[in-house]
Amino acid sequence: MKLYYSPLACSLSPHIVLREAGLPFELVRVDLKTHTVASDGRDFRAIHPKGYVPLLELDDGQLLSEGPAIVQYLADRVPERQLAPANGTLARYRLQEWLGYINSELHKGFSPLFKPGQSEDAKNAAREQLGLRLDFIAAQLGEKPFLLGETFSVADAYLFVIINWGQWVGIDLARWPRLAAFHARVAARDSVRAAIDAEQAK
């Protein structure tokens, strides 16, 4: 498999999951400013018309996009790793509930903070809205180590990646001690350290 990624972008989530799953893969870096494949200059939009990462190229050449879909596909390849509850169970729908919330309410909420030329008023409004979302997640996390309880799941990988962006856009996790502890707990995982090191080295 090939994972098309941009360093420390949302594609870090499936990258972490690939390492947690122990599946063989190749990293293919994409320059999102020029929409080119870094290694050879190919137009990334010719490969993936959506033009953004992550994109997973399967061994048979099929392409799978959208982070929540990719991470569930990877988890289901290695059910013994328990990265996602079994399909058809309420626990699986709880996982999908979290993936949906992180995707629509948190991930997209960061977009104004990275947009060139965005006014400070718009950025402050985005930070305020994100604060409410993070209040909710911290309350739901409670004293649990992970979103679904005692077991690390693909939703935790996604949440980690998104809240990790806070350091660059003026969102200090110290306001949410439970989220700060969660971030540190996930950051200490071998898969996470290896994924971050690999992306920063290229």
SS3 annotation, 85-127: CCCCCHHHHHHHHHHHHHHHHHHHHHHHHHCCCCCHHHHHHHH
Q: Where does the pLDDT of residue 3 fall: very low under 50, low under 70, confident under 90, or very high at 90 and above?
A: very high
Q: In what order do the strands lie in the sheet with 55-57?
A: 36-37, 26-31, 2-5, 55-57, 63-65
Mean pLDDT of the chain, nearest integer: 97
Q: What is the pLDDT of residues 18-40, one digit of tens each?
A: 999 999 999 999 999 999 999 99
What would the mean pLDDT of 54-63 be, rounded to a whole number? 98
3-state secondary structure of 30: strand
**What is the per-residue pLDDT for 92?**
98
Max Cα distance, the chain (Å): 48
What pTM value is reported for the model? 0.97
Please name which of 45, 15, 18, 21 lies closest in space to residue 33, comparing C-alpha atoms: 45
pLDDT exceeds cutoff 80 at 202: no
Q: 54: cis peptide before it, omega within 30°?
A: yes
Taking each helix axis from N to C end, the angle separating 12-21 and 154-164, rounded to the nearest 10 degrees, works out to 140
3-state secondary structure of 51: coil
First to last CA, the chain: 18
What would the mean pLDDT of 78-98 be, rounded to a whole number? 98
What would the mean pLDDT of 72-98 be, rounded to a whole number? 98
